[in-house]
Amino acid sequence: MANKTPLTEYDSPWKQILQLYFQDFMLFFFPQAHSEIDWSRGFDFLDQELQQVVRDAELGKRLIDKLVKIYRIGGEESWLLIHVEVQSQEET
């Protein structure tokens, strides 16, 4: 008999942590990219813009990731798409 218990949602808390500690996340996982970002100009999470891109996708339950607008040291605006996948149990 198949287990019908819904899977626990693990992605959302990690995405919240990513938003709270974005600068530290970049420093730890992407130190070279971190050094190219002008942190004095701040950064903006573009969740609404990302939702518009994926809103028409009919892929079942879909959790969006993070789209972040940053500024590079030279002044150029760039957008980073961050995908976090936390796997805690086997899926077929």
pLDDT digits (tens, 9 = 90+) for 29-51: 999 999 999 999 999 998 777 76
Residue 11 burial by CB count (10 A; 0-12/13-18/19+): exposed, middle or buried?
middle
Number of structural domains in the chain: 1
Q: Please tell me whether residue 81 adopts helix, strand or coil conformation.
A: strand
Q: Does some domain include residue 36?
A: yes
Would you state the structure tokens that stand for residue 11, as one six-digit string? 């992605």
For the full predicted model, state whether its pTM sits above 0.75.
no
Can you give the pLDDT at residue 72?
97
Rounded Cα distance, 41 and 70, in Å: 8
Can you give the pLDDT at residue 1?
47
Task: Say yes or no to pLDDT of 27 above 60.
Answer: yes
Q: Does some domain include residue 92?
A: no
Q: Does some domain include residue 91?
A: no
At 81, give phi and psi (nearest 5°): -100, 115
Q: Give the residue numbers spanning the domain of 65.
A: 11-82
Query: What's the mean pLDDT when you consider all of the chain?
Result: 79
